[in-house]
Amino acid sequence: SKVSFDYSKAKSFFSDDELKAMEAKVLAAKDTLVNKTGEGNDFLGWIDLPVDYDKEEFARIKAAAKKIQSDSDVLLVIGIGGSYLGARAAIDFLRHSFYNNISKEDRKTPEIYYVGNSISSTYLQDLIDVLKGKDFSVNIISKSGTTTEPAIAFRIFKKMLEDKYGEAEAAKRIYATTDKAKGALKNLSNEKGYESFVVPDDVGGRFSVLTAVGLLPIAVSGADIDKLMEGAASGRELALNNAFAENDALLYAAVRNILLGKGKSVEITANYEPSLHYFGEWWKQLYGESEGKDGKGIFPAAVDLTTDLHSMGQFIQDGTRLMFETVVNVEKSKHTVVIGEEEVDLDGLNYLAGKDMDFVNKCAMNGTVLAHVDGDVPNLLVNVPEQNEFYLGQLFYFYEFACGVSGYTLGVNPFNQPGVESYKKNMFALLGKPGFEELRAQLLNK
């Protein structure tokens, strides 16, 4: 078994000829990607990463994770965007739903908190409260080393570490994941002697989950990063070598572009497992930042089901018809919970007695897929056999490869993000950052 793509519930929305026509475009886009002849081709390091990564660094990641596990009650992961979402998605996907809340004896690994992904002083101060009396370490993750959100958080927690442990010991509790040679964070690491890990030049933030960016926090959580890489390597084989008709990543890229051509300009990724919420966030960044440019792209949205069937479900079933839906379906749930029988059937649930809750969840899913298709929402399925490291590796690779192919099929450079600079410039101008005086004057005039 493997992560697989099923578009049978979308077939009624397009013809075989349309798929054939799209096949040619997608295969051309795949060639552009793997032959590295397209725009953004200096950011394709992720394609071979699962089979061609720095083994020495990989061993250092594991050793650092062990040290953090042995000397810290808490790991703070400081990063934003591509330097944040992959680790969080993976840890939520793989570890306990209440990871930070179960007892340390059961968890055996440090609590993990994420910060530097907003500029909220309330969140930051509340996190400081959590750290009271706890030993902690920090993994600051920033490719550029200059991103405002993580830089502010790092300043604060670096000082807390130095006040608590002294400068020398604090330096041993700070792990910096950044550019191999340049940037403010690299310079600081060199000066202070922080252990540092590399975000490769040719891997952009949103494609970096299988580098130290994701791997160190994931390893600290106790998940098996060897298995994760194995899964990604197998996903790579499937994506690179399977013919179009059996190639899940290429088919997904093809079908979503056909649907876009029919006015389906929103893709909703849905899950039926709360532990996939951040997987949806990771996916939104990957596709939103890669495709949303030059006035083009499919708007990526995500819902958690059945939760959101009681909120967004109305719109999906019945509102403006502009979306298709992709369900990430975990085929075998981690646990079995059997519904009991009650003597007096007051809640009317005895017809489910003896049934596994997951059976109910799957019926909800299948019923919803059919209802949404009836409501003119094409439904795609990405089947994940189980929530483990191997299949998560396959899943990450499936989505990354499909994203590169889909972006080229759409006619954009999937590997840049010029749009994220606009807010930064305005923010710097309003903050009075040196060098932004002219823009500041312009903005204040507005």
β-strand pairing of 299-304 with 266-271? parallel
Other C-beta atoms lying within 10 Å of the C-beta of residue 84: 28
Q: Which is nearer to ligand PA5, 102 or 184 (CB)?
A: 184
Among 40, 205, 378, 393, binds ligand PA5 (CB under 6 A): 205
Which residue stretch of 99-107, 142-150, 247-255, 383-391 sits at the interface with ligand PA5 (rule: CB under 6 A)?
Answer: 142-150
List C-alpha distances in Å: 399 to 5, 98, 121, 387, 412. Answer: 11, 26, 34, 16, 17
Measured in Å, how far apart are the chain's first and last C-alpha atoms?
58
Which residue stretch of 198-206, 253-261, 336-344, 407-415 sits at the interface with ligand PA5 (rule: CB under 6 A)?
Answer: 198-206
Which residue stretch of 59-67, 138-146, 347-355, 435-443 sits at the interface with ligand PA5 (rule: CB under 6 A)?
Answer: 138-146
> 66, 134, 332, 424: which is the annotated catalytic residue?
424
Tell me how far, at minimum, the Cβ of 415 lies from ligand PA5, in Å: 9
Tell me how far, at minimum, the Cβ of 383 lies from ligand PA5, in Å: 27
Give the separation between CA 33 and CA 38, rounded to whole angstroms.
7
Which residue's structure tokens are 């160190």?
216
Answer yes or no whether residue 196 interacts with ligand PA5 by CB under 6 A. Answer: no
> 267, 273, 289, 325: which is the annotated catalytic residue?
289
Among 4, 72, 137, 147, binds ligand PA5 (CB under 6 A): 147
# of chain residues touching ligand PA5 (CB under 6 A): 14
Residues in Cβ contact with 144 at an 8 Å cutoff, skipping those fewer than 6 apart: 178, 179, 183
Q: Which is nearer to ligand PA5, 45 or 378 (CB)?
A: 45
424 is known as an active-site residue: yes
Cβ–Cβ < 8 Å for 366, 383 = no
> E strand or H helix at 216, and its extent?
helix 212-220
CA dihedral angle for residue 395, residue 54, residue 34, residue 405, rounded to 10 degrees: 30
Answer yes or no whether residue 83 interacts with ligand PA5 by CB under 6 A. Answer: yes
Answer yes or no whether residue 80 interacts with ligand PA5 by CB under 6 A. Answer: yes
400 is known as an active-site residue: no
Query: The tokens of 167 are what?
Result: 């400068």
Enumerate residues 8-67 that contact ligand PA5 by CB under 6 A: none
Among 137, 142, 269, 275, binds ligand PA5 (CB under 6 A): 142
Q: Which is nearer to ligand PA5, 184 or 357 (CB)?
A: 184
Give the separation between CA 269 and CA 300, rounded to whole angstroms.
7
Give the separation between CA 64 and CA 71, rounded to whole angstroms.
11
Query: The tokens of 16 are what?
Result: 């075989």
Instruction: Enumerate binding residues for ligand PA5 (CB under 6 A).
Output: 80-83, 142-144, 147, 150, 204-206, 289, 417
Catalytic residues, by residue number, are 289, 424
